[in-house]
Amino acid sequence: MDKFITLSLTYAIIGIVMYFLADKIYADNGNEIIKNLKEEHIIIRLPKVYRWVGLIGAMIVSIGPIIVTAFLNTTGSDEPWVIAGFGLFTLFGLYIAWAQIFWRIDVYRHGDHFILVTGLRIKHKIYYSDIIYYKLGNNYIHLKTNRKFFFIDNKAVCIEFLMAALSTNKVKEIKIKR
């Protein structure tokens, strides 16, 4: 019975935390949209909550190897793999935080292009005329250009301005069958 209560409380707490994170993302998006309504140059960024999720996740996962080596009686054969796995997840959390800081899209309301800066700080100048199509997924926007394809998080702050620019410049949208 104790395990059932513990498991139920764990799922309830995870659900509550996810609700508040989603609420924070959408509240930030609404405030930024109102602020940028009359701007000529709009900067689209990942939500600030991504940074905290990445940093807190990296901290929690990085504590894992310490707990494994200190409290569990492990054999020496699989311990390096466990620590390497925790290390990869820690790096992934740190990358999420890093990407939130540097990833952005610069949209110009009357321009013929936008600039995408990736999490690794690589700049791509994308002309609307070079975009073959775009698809809207559940959590992403897939852009296919003449040379590359890009995945853009659709929860980015002010992503609506990019969608409006794609529509205004008559970029072809492909519907995903669901």
| Tens-digit pLDDT profile for residues 139-163 | 888 999 988 999 998 888 888 888 8
Give the separation between CA 175 and CA 178, rounded to whole angstroms.
9
Which pTM was predicted? 0.72
Instruction: Specify the higher pLDDT residue, 33 or 159.
Output: 159
**53 CB-contact burial (10 Å; exposed 0-12 / middle 13-18 / buried 19+):** middle
Q: Which residues are registered as beta bridge partners of 134?
A: 143, 173
User: Does the CA dihedral 87-93-95-101 come out positive or negative?
Assistant: negative
Q: What is the pLDDT at residue 117?
A: 94
* Residue 67 CB coordination number (10 Å): 10
Contact 140, 152 (CB under 8 A): yes
- CA torsion angle 62 68 70 76 (round to 10): -120
DSSP-assigned letter for residue 129: G
DSSP H/E element including 25: helix 2-35
Contact 112, 127 (CB under 8 A): yes
% of the chain exceeding 90 in pLDDT: 17
State mean pLDDT over 37-41: 71
- Res. 40: pLDDT tops 90: no
Q: What is the pLDDT at residue 56?
A: 86
Residue 154's Cβ-side half-sphere holds a number of Cα atoms within 13 Å equal to 11
Q: Which residues are registered as beta bridge partners of 125?
A: 115
Q: What is the pLDDT at residue 81?
A: 76
- Res. 77: pLDDT tops 60: no
Give the separation between CA 90 and CA 117, rounded to whole angstroms.
23
Q: What is the pLDDT at residue 123?
A: 94
Q: What is the pLDDT at residue 168?
A: 87
- Res. 106: pLDDT tops 80: yes
State mean pLDDT over 102-126: 91
State mean pLDDT over 14-20: 79
Token digits of residue 67: 């707990």
**174 CB-contact burial (10 Å; exposed 0-12 / middle 13-18 / buried 19+):** exposed
Q: What is the pLDDT at residue 73?
A: 61
Q: What is the pLDDT at residue 78?
A: 60
Label the pairing between strands 140-145 and 149-153: antiparallel
